[in-house]
């Protein structure tokens, strides 16, 4: 196999790697996650590899890459990188028209989730449940970053993320487009999530880790839902609660 220009290979200048703070890089880590990102044509700036086994794919895609040792990869702060790290130019967010054209039966709305670990865990669970459309707001909310990408364990692959100016305005659009809005909330007029059939196009809204969904969002809901709890703990981590709700909705929609 023909080798590319030397600037693509055997990059071992660790000082140069350290010029840019690691937290500013949008990194995808791990063999499967990186290869999936390449295969799905994510906007990859460059790739670091511990060996040359996957050079042909990178050359075919025209992606700049460096073959380095493990110590150099460790400098990029990706734990369990498995010898594969990719840096993205940016994350490609989708637009609302794509959502309507796809006509999904279920979409997930994250109402100002702020912890990237929770965000990544939610995306991982949503992907496992078969959900492919997730809406987040631009302001006062986590965005797709390296921590979320890592926590998702490849969950962002084949997932469309919609970053909108206003959750409330988007909910109104969804209502007009035939979606039924369910908001997770422990309110007096909330009912158990298991009592609903979810037989219409469904949008599930889960709120901020500390304060939940806003009062405006609660008022927009067609139905508030909650998960019955029987122990002394009266709240669940948002990623755990989201998983329980999503799998119940999917189960009901497939019956």
Would you give the distance in Å from CA 51 to the centre of its chain? 28
Residues 107 and 209 in one domain: yes
Average pLDDT, the chain: 85
Residue 163 shares a structural domain with residue 181: yes
Beta pairing class for 27-29 and 84-88: antiparallel
pLDDT band at residue 131, thresholds of 50, 70 and 90? very high
pLDDT score, position 212? 83
User: Could you give the C-alpha distances from 7 to 2, 57, 66, 137, 154, in angstroms and in order?
Assistant: 14, 18, 8, 40, 29
CA distances from 140 to 43, 115, 118, 169 (A): 25, 11, 15, 16
Alpha carbons 124 and 76: distance in angstroms, whole number = 23
> Residue 19: phi, psi to the nearest 5?
-65, -40
CB 83 within 8 A of CB 51: yes
pLDDT at 166: 94
Q: Angle at Cα 146 formed by Cα 144 and Cα 150, nearest 5°?
A: 105
The pTM for the full model equals 0.81
- Residues 187 and 209 occupy one common structural domain: yes
Judgement on whether residues 82 and 105 belong to the same structural domain of the protein: no
Q: What's the pLDDT at 2?
A: 43
pLDDT tens for each residue of 47-62: 988 887 778 888 888 8
1 found inside a domain = no
136, burial (CB in 10 Å: exposed 0-12, middle 13-18, buried 19+): buried
Percentage above 70 pLDDT, the chain: 89
77 or 36: which leads in pLDDT: 36
For residue 31, the enclosing domain spans: 6-88
Number of domains, the chain:
2
What is the CATH classification number for the domain harbouring 72?
3.30.1330.30
Confidence of residue 121 (pLDDT cuts 50, 70, 90): very high
Phi, psi of 179, deg, nearest 5: -85, 145
Q: Answer yes or no: are the C-beta atoms of 160 and 132 closer than 8 Å.
A: yes
pLDDT at 17 exceeding the cut of 90: no
Q: For residue 77, name the pLDDT band (cuts at 50, 70, 90).
A: low
Question: What is the tens place of the pLDDT at every residue in 171-207?
Answer: 999 999 999 999 999 888 899 999 999 999 999 999 8
Helix (H), strand (E), coil (C) string for 178-217? CCEEEEECCCCCCEEHHHCCCCCCEEEEEEECCCECCHHH
Q: Please check whether residues 72 and 129 belong to one and the same domain.
A: no
Q: Please tell me whether residues 247 and 158 are part of one structural domain.
A: yes
> pLDDT, tens digit, for every residue of 95-119?
999 999 999 999 999 999 999 999 9
pLDDT band at 14 (very low <50, low <70, confident <90, very high): very low
CATH code for the domain of 194? 3.40.1280.10
Strand boundaries in 30-145, DSSP class E? 44-49, 65-67, 84-88, 106-111, 133-137
Residues 79 and 111 in one domain: no
Query: Residue 221: exposed, middle, or buried by beta-carbon count in 10 A (0-12, 13-18, 19+)?
Result: buried
Q: Is the pLDDT of residue 22 over 70?
A: no
Of the two residues 15 and 109, the one the predictor is more confident about is: 109
């Amino acid at each position: 196999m023909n080798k590319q220009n030397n600037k693509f290979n055997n990059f071992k200048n660790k000082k140069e790697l350290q010029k840019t703070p690691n937290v500013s890089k949008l990194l995808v880590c791990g063999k499967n996650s990186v290869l999936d990102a390449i295969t799905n044509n994510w906007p990859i700036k460059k790739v670091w590899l511990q060996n040359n086994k996957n050079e042909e794919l990178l050359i075919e895609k025209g992606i700049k890459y460096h073959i380095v040792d493990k110590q150099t990869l460790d400098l990029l702060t990706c734990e369990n990188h498995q010898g594969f790290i990719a840096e993205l130019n940016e994350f490609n967010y989708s637009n609302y028209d794509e959502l309507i054209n796809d006509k999904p039966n279920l979409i997930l709305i994250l109402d100002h989730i702020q912890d990237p670990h929770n965000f990544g865990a939610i995306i991982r669970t949503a992907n496992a449940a078969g959900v492919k459309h997730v809406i987040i707001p631009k302001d006062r909310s986590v965005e797709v970053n390296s921590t979320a990408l890592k926590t998702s364990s490849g969950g962002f692959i084949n997932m469309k993320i919609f970053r909108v100016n206003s959750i409330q305005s988007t909910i109104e659009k969804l209502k007009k487009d035939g979606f039924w809005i369910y908001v997770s909330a422990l309110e007096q007029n909330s009912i158990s999530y298991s009592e609903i059939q979810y037989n219409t196009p469904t949008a599930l809204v889960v709120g901020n880790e500390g304060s939940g969904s806003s009062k405006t969002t609660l008022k927009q809901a067609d139905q508030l839902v909650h998960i019955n709890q029987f122990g002394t703990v009266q709240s669940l981590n948002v990623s755990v609660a989201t998983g329980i709700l999503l799998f119940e909705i999917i189960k009901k929609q497939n019956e």
